Structure 1
Amino acid sequence: MVNVVHDANSYQHQDRVAVKRALISVSDKTGLLELAQALVNTGVEIVSTGSTAATMRDAGYPVTEVSTVTGFPESLDGRVKTLHPGVHAGLLADLRLQEHRDQLLDLGIEAFELAVVNLYPFRETVASGADAATVIENIDIGGPALVRASAKNHANIAIAVSPARYPEIISALASGGTTLAQRVALATEAFAHTAAYDRAVAGWFAAQEGNSALPSELSIEALRVSELRYGENSHQAAALYKSPGGNGIAQARLLHGKEMSYNNYVDADAALRAAYDFSEPAVAIIKHANPCGIAIASESTSDPIADAHLRAHECDPVSAFGGVIAANRPVTLGMANAVKDIFTEVLVAPSFHEDALAVLTTKKNLRLLQLPDDYNRETHELRQVSGGFLMQSTDVVSSRATVPWTLVAGEEADATTLADLEFAWIACRAVKSNGILLAHNGAAVGVGMGQVNRVDSCRLAAERAGERALGAVAASDAFFPFADGLQVLLDAGVSAVVQPGGSIRDQDVIDAAHTAGITMYFTGERHFFH
């Protein structure tokens, strides 16, 4: 050890610290016995608590109970175990300072060179639907104190908060101790761990207020997992961050192809959301966050996901070039054979048949992403604005059974037309506003998106549909402020329209539909998407 005066500016760090004594207190017992074996093999004294100590002792490893160190029994149903100077002085003593070493000697306290701590499973308890009393009991108090103390004193002690770090610790034991670089990295992870834990607890308490669907305080937690080549443009820096417990595009596994780019992730997420708007087999093709094709297929067909892809691609083959495809069913050989001949940036799906993978992996520039098994959509969305964030519940299209439609013009649609109207209404949610989508037989045939007036969106949708507009149905994400936009669709030959309604000129629009002899429904629900 280096003897220095008590001056922070003159601290001298020693690189390697040999481990003689370790404190272990973990809820997650993964890898615990392998770590205990390595510690015992290198002559390290293990001090431990409760079930952690029992697990190691039952496996035959010598363990010193923390109550022996503190001279005080675990109490209050385990709420008080390690909150004692006998423990924390051993964690916090700066052994670079002679006066600290002298005080430990006077107090009869031994220092620790390693702490292995992970916290009560608070998030898991919340996710299980446990009652409030059980959730509160899983708020760890002593654990975060141990972690923070050890991380602060990283000059003298290593702190591991994850079983993923155990192999590194075991290797360090064999090499004579932990290095300063290792201890700094471990301390960084430890402080992030306790900060994230506190955010989760604060978020749960905020949600208990019950006066709003949204919390009064917002905590954002994410871990950087990869730096991307660049952002939306080549001069912008970018990285991917994963939310703990998340099961979305950020957690998808790259099976083949180059690393994902920033724009790949944005488009893949938009494609997923569009495809998973449907319960039927569905495929969405996205370009610059907008759909250039969406289609569904019947489960009764021989290869429904291949059929859905074929008809989605037919919507706008020109725009589909270089697009991103999402499927809400496993990718089959039939779909793979169709995709391989189309330049595609990304194909994301819940899984891929082996023969489909064999075909698709011959395309070196095609990225294949497999979703996590428990993929689910977020219930809320965040958007950064200057100085803060916007938060909202995720937009989900209500079924006609939940929010009934109102027939405002023409005859009640037959079953086939009504099915197409329902498809168009759901698919239109994925279109950037102002959004118009024309559909026929469960597939988009023309999309008008992102225009600053609805008339232009109608013209764009009709132009892209061409002759396919004749007899198709149309959906509008928001009301027609005037009859002129509807008239564009009528001139193109649409047979039925679904829209939210709610304009002060609704009657003008209804009259135009009556005059043309088409069916029109109001949903009473808008689906702007910016």
Structure 2
Amino acid sequence: MPDLVPLKRALISVSDKTGLLDLGRALADRGVEILSTGGSAKALRDAGIAVRDVAEVTGFPEMMDGRVKTLHPMVHGGLLALRDNPDHVKAMEDHGIGGIDLLVVNLYPFEATVARGADWDEAIENIDIGGPAMIRAAAKNHGFVTTVVDVEDYAALLVELDENGGQTGAAFRRTLSQRAYARTAAYDAAVSTWMADTTGDAAPRRRAVAGTLKQTMRYGENPHQAAAFYTDGTDAPGVATATQHQGKELSYNNINDTDAAFELVSEFAGEDPACVIVKHANPCGVARGGTLAEAYARAYDCDRVSAFGGIVALNRPLDGATAEAIAQIFTEVVIAPGADDDARAVFAAKKNLRLLTTDGLADARAGGRVWRQVSGGYLVQDKDVGQIALDQLRVVTKVQPTEAQLNDLRFAWTVAKHVKSNAIVYVKDGATVGVGAGQMSRVDSTRIAARKAQDMAEALGLSAPLTQGSVVASDAFFPFPDGLLAAAEAGATAVIQPGGSMRDDAVIAAADEVGLAMVFTGMRHFRH
């Protein structure tokens, strides 16, 4: 493979016309002959740039509504021919095939078409055929052909040509070849995923996933781990699409924790002001309030120790008063739908605090998939979007929960959905007062949450922990009465859990004996 290859002839066929005219002029000024098709050729020609139609080269007009225009030996021969192979050179001469040294192609906007809800027929028509075929051909022959599939690489191409006297280097072509195959792979992944979803195939024989690099990170969870952040092309509000207003670059752990916080706070879209504080992907304080500042204060009072260095997520635009309260302790990230000028002024003095705004909350009911790598494969499941309405709760005890208890039970159940299993969440008056997460024993989670509440009561100078008179949620059933009785000892008066244990009767009897109200959801919320 030669190092430097002169660029004499280019084929340009793009759906996204961004930067097209500047690129076309720059190539023409360097004496490059430009071949093009359809709208690209028209745009170039209308701008006064010399261009030759591919139809003139192939001897065939575009046909079948543009489905057939570049699928021709005059094109693919020019892309695939090995210029140092005598047989290939002879075939080019015998059949009048001219070499193509540069291919500039971006594909029909299939992903955008599907994202806006197009029907089957329109989506099918936006599956590009000629584009991927040319890209793959040119990228395979990167020893002689430069392949550009991203607008972001136009400037780099021109710099490469200037630095090498109108030629491209082997390393440059090889790099662009990898990007080309990654683009066609991502495109095919989008098509195959859409087809599986549309046809109702929940477990297709093969699954593909793709992403676009957003950020190369200093390291991953730990300094010895390399890491990068990729986006999936969706534009839903969240950490991947948020605007960062200040603070240093987000780390791997920041992104993971911020996503967890934003996912939970989005459960409270359209409700009273709500605040979520997360530490190590687990909520350590969640509360509603009459104002955002009140919601933050109540969330903070659940576990002030864990809140230090945590992530704060809000369901309303951040205001100055709430920013003042948050700024009293070290906080890694604040994420909210927006932030007013007063809030930004407060945070401006906190140079290490990252402020992210999202222009909205995520749709807590929107589906999606969760991927997890295991040794030798992947686990893929639907995102947990399960929710329970008050009228879906089944009271199983003699004591009936009050309306206030029911509201707190549903709040606790929502939070428990976002706590690592085994999860226990105590709630009182719309605020968490104890969270137990990630223990191997549900009894341990129950006791840890109660102990944290006791510690906070002592720190706040209270005579009793806020778990007195609280309600408690368990993400899965109590297999024995011991966990439930531990919650009663901590002061809980009502319980929400899925039910479904072989020993439900014993657990219900234990609840009746100590005077607890208990409701079953029939839905589990494991989160590993």
TM-score by structure 1 length? 0.90
Q: Is the 8 A contact 2:388 2:521 kept in 1?
A: no
Task: Give, in whole Å, the separation in 2 of the partners of 1:80 and 1:404.
Answer: 56
- Please name the residue that 1:264 is paired with: 254
Q: Map Cα deviations across residues 377-433 of structure 1 (whole Å, 9 max, x no partner).
A: 6611111111111111111241316x7011112444333222211111111111111
- Please name the residue that 2:274 is paired with: 282
Q: Does 1:231 align with 2:220?
A: yes
- Please name the residue that 1:3 is paired with: none
Q: Does 1:200 align with 2:198?
A: no
Letter in 2 for 1:190: A
Deviation at 1:32, TM superposition (A): 1.6
Q: Is the 8 A contact 1:221 1:244 kept in 2?
A: no
Q: 1:34 to 1:355 in 2, by over 3 A?
A: same
Q: Map Cα deviations across residues 291-329 of structure 1 (whole Å, 9 max, x no partner).
A: 1101123xxx4xx32222111111000111122222233
Deviation at 1:451, TM superposition (A): 1.7
Q: Is the 8 A contact 1:497 1:521 kept in 2?
A: yes
Q: Does 1:293 align with 2:280?
A: no
- Please name the residue that 1:437 is paired with: 425
Q: Is the 8 A contact 1:94 1:100 kept in 2?
A: yes
TM-score by structure 2 length? 0.90
Q: 1:445 to 1:374 in 2, by over 3 A?
A: closer
Corresponding residue SS for 1:512:
helix
Q: Does 1:394 align with 2:392?
A: no
Task: Give, in whole Å, the separation in 1 of the partners of 2:438 and 2:24.
Answer: 60
Q: Is the 8 A contact 1:207 1:214 kept in 2?
A: no
Aligned residues: 511
Q: 1:372 to 1:160 in 2, by over 3 A?
A: farther
- Please name the residue that 1:7 is paired with: none
Q: Is the 8 A contact 1:228 1:237 kept in 2?
A: yes
Structure-to-structure mapping, 1:354-393, within 5 angstroms = 354-371=341-358, 379-393=368-382
Structure-to-structure mapping, 1:341-490, within 5 angstroms = 341-371=328-358, 379-400=368-389, 404-466=392-454, 467-490=465-488
Task: Give, in whole Å, the separation in 2 of the partners of 1:213 and 1:18.
Answer: 49
- Please name the residue that 2:500 is paired with: 502
Q: Is the 8 A contact 1:256 1:368 kept in 2?
A: yes
Letter in 2 for 1:198: D
Corresponding residue SS for 1:277:
helix
Task: Give, in whole Å, the separation in 1 of the partners of 2:234 and 2:306.
Answer: 35
- Please name the residue that 1:216 is paired with: 205
Q: Is the 8 A contact 1:203 1:217 kept in 2?
A: no
Q: Is the 8 A contact 1:38 1:173 kept in 2?
A: no
Q: Please point out which of 103, 114, 122 is paired with 1:115.
A: 103
Corresponding residue SS for 1:30:
coil
Identity of aligned pairs, percent? 51
Task: Give, in whole Å, the separation in 1 of the partners of 2:355 and 2:205.
Answer: 39
Q: Is the 8 A contact 1:428 1:436 kept in 2?
A: yes
Deviation at 1:28, TM superposition (A): 1.3
Structure-to-structure mapping, 1:506-521, within 5 angstroms = 506-521=504-519
Q: Map Cα deviations across residues 141-195 of structure 1 (whole Å, 9 max, x no partner).
A: 1111111122222233322112222223344455542431332222221111112
Q: Does 1:53 align with 2:51?
A: no
Range with bigger deviation, 161-170 or 425-434: 161-170
Deviation at 1:507, TM superposition (A): 2.0
- Please name the residue that 1:331 is paired with: 318
Corresponding residue SS for 2:414:
helix
Letter in 1 for 2:153: R
Task: Give, in whole Å, the separation in 2 of the partners of 1:24 and 1:146.
Answer: 11
- Please name the residue that 2:462 is paired with: none
- Please name the residue that 1:5 is paired with: none
Gaps of 5+ in 1: 1-10
Range with bigger deviation, 491-500 or 66-75: 491-500
Q: 1:355 to 1:378 in 2, by over 3 A?
A: farther
- Please name the residue that 2:303 is paired with: 316
Range with bigger deviation, 424-433 or 59-68: 59-68
CA RMSD of aligned residues (A): 2.4
Q: Does 1:185 align with 2:185?
A: no
Range with bigger deviation, 55-64 or 452-461: 55-64
Task: Give, in whole Å, the separation in 1 of the partners of 2:275 and 2:355.
Answer: 15
